[in-house]
Amino acid sequence: MKSKVEFNKKISRRDALKMLGLGIGAFVLESCGNKATDTPVPAQPTKVPPTAAPTAIPPTAAPKAVSLRYQNHWTKETDAHYKGMQWLYKEFNAKYPYITIDNILNPDGVESFKKIVADCAAGDCPDIIHEGNPDMWKAGYLLDLAPYLNEDPAWKNLFIPSTFYTLGDVTWGLCAEFSPMPTIWNTRILEAAGVGDLPKTWDEFMTVCEKVKAYGKLPTSWEVGGSHQWHNIIASQPGGLDAIAANQFDAPQMKEAFSRLKTFVDNKWIPDNELEITWQQSIAFFVAEETAFYIDGAWTIVNNIYSSGAAPDLRDYVKYAPYPAASDNGSTVELKVGTPLALSAKLKDDPAKLDAAIKFFKFWFSEEGAKQWILLCQSPMGIDVDLSKLEGVDPGLLGHLSAQASAKTVYSLPPTPAVVERGWDDCQSGLDTMLSGGSVDEAMAAYQNEMSKYK
């Protein structure tokens, strides 16, 4: 699920959140199955009076073959979504053999986004757009999906309403990943450090971090989850989420969040080179059991905890919990709406391709599609699924999703332009300032300067 970036700016850390184990290079993966069109149905003669010559009725025309281009990084064999994508292509082709999905495999989330943006800027948007964003809508690249949802209420009602990507009355994207963002702990490290229970309060949290450092491990790395910690601390404070919604970038709740995270810098609870390390290196610390916790969505189960680089029994020592209570609102878990899937606006110029693209979205974003995403990818999407009626759900996923039940405050960030466009890296300038030796006040100044355009 990091990729909310602005045009002509560096790729944000949200793009990087899905890059573990991804290689370099791109190739075309043909869609599964036969591409043959449907067999025409033989015509039947019309009944006419005996004296009249029979009038032939032409055979039913087979649907016209259609090809849709889709650039993404989810069909990489090491990606959590690989099995789901294979199911999707195979089953969709079986139902619509005249529709071919030309799958273009990009090397990773960052390169995929850069390629899509470059193609759209050149007037050649993919038909199916992975990780669309508001800027792409404003640039005229994306199709408004609202009319197609409204004309099919049964389809629209499958979605969790808060997961639509909207601007006013426009729906420019559908949510392919919807997940709580719990704190993920390695209990093997905690036990070795003399920690019996997961921390529930801020004071307990600080004590756990001290014990982990004394044991010779690091509590965490910010490149994966630092901004989520910042948001959780704000959400734990009364009025914190209101301040985010109001673009109140000088709010005391935000300064308090930077102040609390400054403790991690001062106590050296994060890597000395945190400012320079990549997402891959950051997540590798947890996979190698050098850090005690991080924060991420359900996709991390397959991508990281179950990865070939992790100890086979790591999954047995992972526990999911709310972020410890930093203030009066108590422990927190963020609900993250991620990976918007969109369609190209240029499809309006080709009715056959537009019809095929809508069919593809209706097939993918369906009750069955959502179930398969849970079973094969351990990654829910924006479709409402009753897990109690779904057999075979991975225990790790159930543990991950259930963490929100024990949180006092479960929240989603207000969908302001600042949040939507900046995604998970909105506070990064402030965090980087502290990593560079700056004070909390200097971090606040850097953050406010970075976000001033949203005032």
pLDDT (tens digit, 9 = 90+) per residue, 320-340?
999 999 999 999 999 998 899
Domain 181-335+412-454 has CATH 3.40.190.10: yes
Tokens found for residue 287: 């996979």
The whole-number average pLDDT for the span 297-314 is: 93
Ranges of each domain in the chain: 13-35+64-180+337-396, 181-335+412-454
- What's the pLDDT tens digit per position in 414-426? 878 888 778 778 9
Share of the chain above pLDDT 70, in %: 86
Tokens 């301040």 locate to 243
**Which of these ranges, 22-36, 219-233, 383-397, has the smallest mean pLDDT?**
22-36
pLDDT recorded at residue 4? 33
Residue 46 has pLDDT above 50, yes or no: no
Residue 453 has pLDDT above 80, yes or no: yes
Residue 325 to residues 141, 148, 225, 248: CA-CA distances in angstroms? 42, 43, 16, 23
Mean predicted lDDT score pLDDT of the chain: 87
pLDDT recorded at residue 407? 97
Sheet with 318-321, side-by-side order of all strands: 293-295, 183-186, 318-321
Residue 141 has pLDDT above 90, yes or no: yes
Closest CA to 175 of 140, 139, 130, 142: 130
173, 154 Cβ separation under 8 angstroms: no
Tokens found for residue 236: 């734990």
CB contact set of 291 (below 8 Å; sequence gap of 6+)? 186, 189, 217, 218, 219, 220, 221, 285
Of residues 41 and 173, which shows the higher confidence score?
Answer: 173
Cα separation, 369 vs 392, in Å, equals 15
Share of the chain above pLDDT 90, in %: 75
Residue 388 has pLDDT above 90, yes or no: no
pLDDT recorded at residue 324? 98
Neighbours of 116 (CB within 10 A): 23
Residue 25 has pLDDT above 80, yes or no: no
pLDDT recorded at residue 414? 87
Cα separation, 355 vs 362, in Å, equals 11
User: Ramachandran region of residue 386, left (φ > 0), alpha (ψ -120 to 50) or beta?
Assistant: beta
pLDDT recorded at residue 61? 65
Largest separation between any pair of C-alpha atoms in the chain: 102
Of residues 151 and 32, which shows the higher confidence score?
Answer: 151
Residue 44 has pLDDT above 70, yes or no: no
Q: Do 181-335+412-454 and 13-35+64-180+337-396 have the same topology in CATH?
A: yes
Into which CATH architecture does domain 13-35+64-180+337-396 fall? 3-Layer(aba) Sandwich (3.40)
Residue 102 has pLDDT above 90, yes or no: yes
- What's the pLDDT tens digit per position in 354-384? 999 999 999 999 999 999 999 999 889 999 9
Cα separation, 124 vs 118, in Å, equals 9
Q: Which residues of 262-272 are buried (b: 16+ CB within 10 A; e: fewer)?
A: bebbeeebbbe
